[in-house]
Amino acid sequence: MSRTLAIFKREFASYFNSPIAYIYVTVFLGLAGWLFFKGFFLVGEASMRSFFGILPWLFLFFVPAITMRLWAEERKVGTMELLMTLPVTDTEAVMGKFLASFTFLLVSLALSLVLAVVVSALGDPDPGEIFGGYLGAVLIGAAFLAIGLFLSSLTENQIVAFIISVVTIFVLFILGDDFVLMGVPNWIAPVFSFLGLGAHYDSVSRGVIDTRDIIYYLSVVGFFLYLNVKSIESRK
């Protein structure tokens, strides 16, 4: 546990050792705010629904940007050898890195609460919807992170890690979309709709909190963290 914490601390601090973290957060919040307020004044409704609608699309690029470095850099610089010959288990190393990127995502989301404050000042939004929206964002963000982190362990090139993460997350995200479901055989449609990362998000962010959706996201996170541990082990 203390070893996971040590890795977590190092990884989290290293986001702020370079200006990149600040750039990411600024771009993320700037884009979110801009897209949100553009819609907000057009529709003239005191709701954050449109914000949660665009959030996964922002995450599609934002999350791979914060996970691409995590393993690829270690492999490229050779520090992986240093880290894995310290007395840490593969699971502890994976967890430390995951928690660091997750905390970074939470911080970025927390900053976006400014939007909620503004909306509340301008009108009377449904608090249940905002809560559900943030819960959905945290869950889908965690799932994206686990996928991005795993894919980062497969290459030593950060850019490659970024691109394969964006593509993979995109495919898994739209898997349950009506648009995709129309194009596949009938028998496979329920499978796609269950596996798709997007379908579960819609219901949660509408404020309909179903434990099955929560379990689904936690399973996705668990599955990709497990794959990550296996891919770290496979070097041996």
- Could you say which of 42, 85, 185, 212 contacts other proteins (CB under 8 A)? 85
* 122 binds other proteins per the rule CB under 8 A: no
Helix axes of 158-174 and 197-205: crossing angle, nearest 10 degrees: 70
Cβ closer to other proteins: 87 or 185? 87
Amino acid sitting at position 51: F
Cβ closer to other proteins: 82 or 167? 82
Please work out the total of residues on this chain that contact other proteins, with binding judged by CB under 8 A: 24
* 78 binds other proteins per the rule CB under 8 A: yes
* 43 binds other proteins per the rule CB under 8 A: no
Cβ closer to other proteins: 3 or 206? 3
Q: Kindly state the helix (H) or strand (E) to which residue 155 belongs, with its residue range.
A: none
Distance (Å, whole) CA 98 – CA 223: 13
The answer to whether the beta carbons of residues 106 and 137 sit under 8 Å apart is: no
* 219 binds other proteins per the rule CB under 8 A: no
* 159 binds other proteins per the rule CB under 8 A: no
* 19 binds other proteins per the rule CB under 8 A: no
Distance (Å, whole) CA 107 – CA 8: 15
Footprint of other proteins on 88-107 (CB under 8 A) = 88-89
* 82 binds other proteins per the rule CB under 8 A: yes
Distance (Å, whole) CA 4 – CA 100: 10
* 206 binds other proteins per the rule CB under 8 A: no
Site stretch for other proteins (CB under 8 A), options 38-46, 49-57, 81-89, 152-160: 81-89
How many CB atoms lie under 10 A from the CB of residue 230? 13
Cβ closer to other proteins: 91 or 168? 91
- Could you say which of 22, 23, 79, 183 contacts other proteins (CB under 8 A)? 79
Amino acid sitting at position 164: I
The answer to whether the beta carbons of residues 140 and 134 sit under 8 Å apart is: no
Q: Which of 106, 112, 30 is nearest to 63 (CA)?
A: 106
The answer to whether the beta carbons of residues 96 and 12 sit under 8 Å apart is: no
By the criterion CB under 8 A, which residues form the site for other proteins? 2-3, 5-7, 9-10, 13-14, 17-18, 77-79, 81-82, 84-89, 235-236
